[in-house]
Amino acid sequence: MKNFSPKLIASSGRYENLEGESHGRHVVFEFDSFAEAKRFYESPEYQTAKALRAGAATGTYVILEGTS
């Protein structure tokens, strides 16, 4: 992740699932742009980590363009 420098916004902590699928852990990163987040997801570094996680954990990865 060093090449991408995302800002950690939230990691786990208290939450209440009001609708939809529930997950036991939540992590939110902020990237400089939508394109940068996509570049991170498609990077060899992330794909290696994703392969290591396969079969051991499930998750949902969403890229959301924010507003100012």
pLDDT tens digits along 17-58: 999 888 888 899 999 999 999 999 999 999 998 999 888 888
pTM of the model: 0.76
pLDDT at 9: 92
- The confidence band for 68, taking pLDDT boundaries of 50, 70 and 90, is low
Domains in the chain: boundaries: 1-68
- The confidence band for 1, taking pLDDT boundaries of 50, 70 and 90, is low
Beta bridge partners of 36: none
CATH for the stretch 1-68: 3.30.70.100
Torsion-angle region of 42 (φ positive above 0: left; ψ -120 to 50: alpha; else: beta):
alpha
Locate 57 and state its tokens. 């954990």
Contact between residue 26 and residue 15 where contact means Cβ atoms under 8 Å apart: yes
